[in-house]
Structure 1
Amino acid sequence: MAFQQPQYPFQGYGHCESYFVENHNDDDGMFARAAAERERSRGVNKLRQKAMAEALSRTTAEEYQEDVLSHMERMEAETMPDLQSIEIQTEIQWFMRPYLLDFLLEAHHAFQLLPETLHLAVNLLDRYCSRRVVYKRHYQLVGCAALLISAKYGDHKERVPTIRELKSMCCSLYDDDMFTQMEWHVLQTLNWMVGHATVTSFLQMALTEVAFDPELERMSWYVTELALYHKEFIPVPPSVMARSALALARYILARPQPRYTDWSARYDSQVVLNLSNHLTQPSQALQRKYASPHLSSVSSTIELFLQQQAMIAQRVIHIPAPEITCMEIEPSGPVNAYLMPQTPQKADFPSIPHGVLTPPITPDKDYHAQTGYGITQGLLPRTGHCVPTPPSSGEHAHTMHYSGPHYIQPPQFVQ
């Protein structure tokens, strides 16, 4: 009896679930449906495993949260800068700080670095200035080295700026070797202790106690970055600054304040009041950064809040409108206004491309006060001096009077 060839080559061998074998009996796509079902089951299982891992991570975080918090508070005490040591710098003056902060803020935003990278860079800068004498021609170089160290320490590797990019942003004022040498010198001065519990780390700890609110988080970032420009906030610990900035952000956005028994609600009322007084004249670079919808248009929210506070002040205090037009500084003769703590506002640079806001060499304070920075070099139009931020209450209070649009009703928090 001759061997009969089956009509189909795979008849009698059962079903094969391989995609490389064509099964003529699978007219309804049975195996394709089975494969799709298996893929769906794998996806569901992956989601379940991810949810279980997140739940386990939250449980572990809650268990060790107090230990982590105590370690962060101990670390911040060991890595705080000394304000008195910065005060005795011979060439570095406080009016130079806003210019350097604008430059670091622009570079940080251009490279899309993490928020904690900026705060760590400023901490490294202040700690270095607390231990070493810094010449004004090297002030920007120290800031670039601090930003470079901070980005290498905790940011994404692909976003770390290169020396060539930093050199270009500094208008090629420094050579490549100078960046490397300054980076090494900063690390040597700080005994290679780079880690610091930044204010953003404490903000994350405080925000884990409530539901996720991106607008509240970005408003807190704005307030904490605004505090970097003023020397009075340098001695404030990051934990206190984070809770105080969060309390002010909640007040601006009309969010409910938590109970004072919670850790995130233990703010410093004086720090909150000082922060609110500096909302009226922020840095132009900071205002421009937070005007984007990507950061919830925080600058627009702040302007609307200040307008509402001015209207409330007019209704409650009953001050006539002509007397509350604006805040002015009375002329005080030849006194140098930049010897007092303040934040000068930079004018626009019409002849310099956008992104290069910090001059290569910071001018002397006497030259800045008498002629206005950059007029003889042709960098600025001849429109007069910058309008400085008024000092805090108690300092030179007799030389200025307060007005309506810049008046902020003190926040009333229930403790």
Structure 2
Amino acid sequence: MAYQPQQQRYGNCDSYFVEMEDEGLYALRQEQRERARAMARMQQRALAEELSKMTAEEYQEDILDHMERMEADTMPDVNSIDIQTEIQWFMRPYLLDFLVEAHAAFQLLPETLFLAVNLLDRYCSRRVVYKRHYQLVGCAALLIAAKYGDRKERVPTVRELKSMCCSLYDDEMFTQMEWHVLQTLNWVIGHPTVDSFLQIALNENQYDAEVEHMTWYICEIALFHKEFVSIRPSILARSALALARCVLSRSQARQSDWASSYDSVVVLNLSNHLYQPSQVLSRKYASVHLSCVSTTVEEFLQRQAQIARRNITPPTPVLENQKADSDNFPSTPQKNHYDAVMQHGCLTPPITPDNEFGNGNGKGVVLPRLYPVTPTSAPQQPQQQNAQQFSYQQQPSTQQFSYQQQQFLQPRSATGTGI
């Protein structure tokens, strides 16, 4: 058998790879396998969420009891912060503005910010903090909170925190302060934050993203003020949730639910601090992914101000005939400035003296009597004259009391001032 060249045996071929006709079939089967794997992962995730929900409902009361005990043990002491020698409460908004900006720059979880502020307050309750180290303590608290509960890839580094502080502190100072905060708190970092209780309250009803964002905004406003430092996160979360539903015109929770047991005093105090929020918070919550809740609050406050202006009634005008009637009313006599008059040989007592001890109108002028004096034909004895003079002195104080009392009881609308 003669040798045949390879090219003649298999024909002309430009490459060593031969295209198969069923290559599209293998690609289709691979796509089907990937789709089946994705469906299996979704089913496993849904099953895990359902089991987790069933377990949470079963142990819901035990979880709440444990969280409430934890929040009581990890609350800061406001009285201890008051006795700080250098740091004052007016410095708190400046530090919190810095922490809010850093928290937003690193895209950390909402509960990380609340935990960082709690660590900061707890440390200030136990240690004397100098003014030059106040920002350093805040950075250390944010670093600890991010390491405790946030994603690993989003935890800020010491170099990044140093850059945000304009290289005011060295790298070793961040590490030393982080260790000192942990030692001061006995390595107890866990604290049920406002967001933890908020998620429990939101699970009782249908999820509403705008309500959640509004509640975060109100709770972060509360971080800036001293009066909310001693409020427990469970009460603050439910009170802020009730106020958020009121601002957004949402229906409140049922009275039997745990989320409905809010504090009305805390709700009122929170509403009073909505008028002048931090500019950093306003810019943060004006974004679309946070439902623009800061703009919604501003519009709500403008509507409330317009309603309040419409409800204010103008003062009632006083007509001339009403003024004349009020002048002639017997219970409120007016003072008439006349010259001194002698009737029947004796001075008349004043009607409405200007002070308790005066016998006239304060200017040495004796006002005339508006009723006649009974004349006496026979001269009186000295004792009778003293008695009559005593009766004249007693009469003005009685009329003065009646005039002041009747003037106080007279409605304000008659004088044209309004209420």
Q: 1:115 aligns with which of 110, 114, 120?
A: 110
* Separation of aligned partners in 2, 1:227 and 1:80: 15
1:329 aligns with none
Point out where structure 1 has 5 or more consecutive residues left out of the alignment: 1-19, 321-415
1:170 aligns with 2:165: yes
Give the corresponding residue for 1:69. Answer: 64
**Pair 1:138 & 2:133 matched:** yes
Does residue 292 (structure 1) correspond to residue 287 (structure 2)? The answer is yes
Deviations 1:301-326 (A, max 9, x none): 01110011111112223379xxxxxx
Q: Within 5 Å, give how 1:194-205 maps onto structure 2.
A: 194-205=189-200
Give the equivalent residue in structure 1 for 2:90.
Answer: 95
Q: Distance in 2 between matches of 1:34 and 1:169?
A: 53
SS of structure 1 residue aligned to 2:75? coil
Q: Distance in 1 between matches of 2:292 and 2:106?
A: 20
Matched residue type, 1:135: Y
Counterparts of 2:242 and 2:89, CA distance in 1: 28
What does 1:22-37 align with in structure 2 at a 5 Å threshold? 37=32
Alignment pair present for 1:282 and 2:270: no
Identify the residue that residue 270 of structure 1 maps to in structure 2: 265
Which ranges of structure 2 fall in alignment gaps of 5 or more residues? 1-16, 316-419
- Range that drifts further, 265-274 or 153-162: 153-162
| Pairing partner for 2:205 from 203, 206, 210 | 210
2:42 is equivalent to residue 47 of structure 1: yes
Amino acid at match of 1:222: Y
Note if 1:188 corresponds to 2:187. no
2:228 to 229, 233, 242: 233
Cα distance 1:34–1:123, how it changes in 2: closer, same or farther (>3 A)?
A: closer
Mark the CA change 1:189 to 1:42 in structure 2 (over 3 Å): closer, same or farther.
closer
Deviation per residue, 1:74-98 (Å, 9 max, x gap): 1000000000011111111111111
State the alpha-carbon separation in 1 of the partners of residues 33 and 244 from structure 2: 48
Over the aligned positions, Cα root-mean-square deviation in angstroms equals 2.1
How many residue pairs get aligned? The number is 299
* 1:288 partner amino acid: R
In structure 1, what residue type is equivalent to 2:173? M
Give 1:193's aligned amino acid: V
Structure 1 residues 37 and 92, CA gap change in structure 2 (3 angstroms): closer
Could you tell me how far 1:138 is from its partner in structure 2?
0.9
CA deviations on 1:6-43 (whole Å, 9 max, x unpaired) are xxxxxxxxxxxxxx99876x69x777666655554444
TM-score, normalised relative to structure 1: 0.68
2:51 is aligned with 1:59 = no
Alignment-mate amino acid for residue 231 of structure 1: K
Q: 1:100 to 1:45 in 2, by over 3 A?
A: closer
Aligned to 1:260: 255
Which structure is higher in helix share? 2
Q: Which of residues 108, 111, 129 in structure 1 aligns to 2:124? A: 129
Per the TM alignment, residue 53 of structure 1 is displaced from its structure 2 partner at its CA by: 2.3
2 CA distance for matches of 1:44 and 1:167? 46
Choose between structure 1 and 2 for higher RCO, CA contacts under 8 A separated by at least 6 residues: 1
Distance 1:162 1:34, change over 3 A: closer
Whole-angstrom CA distance in 2 between matches of 1:235 and 1:164: 34
User: For residue 204 of structure 2, what is the amino acid of its counterpart?
Assistant: E
Which of these two proteins has the greater Rg computed from alpha carbons? 2
Closer, same or farther: CA 50–185 of 1 in aligned 2, 3 Å: closer
Query: Which deviations, in whole Å up to 9, do the C-alpha atoms of 1:29-85 show, x marking residues without a partner?
Result: 777666655554444444333322222221111111111111111100000000001
